[in-house]
Amino acid sequence: MSENKKIVAYVERDMEEFIPFFLEESKEEIRGLIEALKAGDYKSLKDFGHKIKGSSVTCSEGFQKMSDIGLAIENAAKEKKPLKEIQVMVKAYIEYVNNVEIIYTD
């Protein structure tokens, strides 16, 4: 993801009350992802990827990009891809979570 590229998630208005909690929880997961990456803990990376994949789509279809990143982390960890490859995916997740702009739709 480019720094100039705007990250937008279109989210149903009825989820507006829940979204700040969801994003805060997503930011808290970053620490765990980084620790798992540093430790080379493929199981934890897989578990985090799986959780990100599921919770983001469950929250709103507007978070499909986040779900895709979670799936990529999960699959890469399952396949024990080089940690450098997974690091790129984790950075994409961090950039997404820290920069996403929510636009509520009716």
By residue range, what is the domain housing residue 67?
27-105
The pLDDT tens digits for 52-93 are: 999 998 888 899 999 999 999 999 999 999 999 999 999 999
Whether 47 is in a domain gets the answer yes
pLDDT bin (cut points 50, 70, 90) of residue 5 is confident
Smallest Cα–Cα separation from 11: which of 23, 24, 3?
A: 23
Distance, C-alpha 3 to centroid of its chain: 17
Total structural domains within the chain:
1
Whether 15 is in a domain gets the answer no
Whether 8 is in a domain gets the answer no
Q: What percent of the chain has pLDDT over 70?
A: 96
Whether 33 is in a domain gets the answer yes
Segment 38-43 mean pLDDT: 98
Whether 55 is in a domain gets the answer yes
Tokens coding 67: 């779900």
pLDDT of residue 64: 95
Whether 12 is in a domain gets the answer no
Q: What is the mean pLDDT of the chain?
A: 94
Whether 76 is in a domain gets the answer yes
Whether 68 is in a domain gets the answer yes
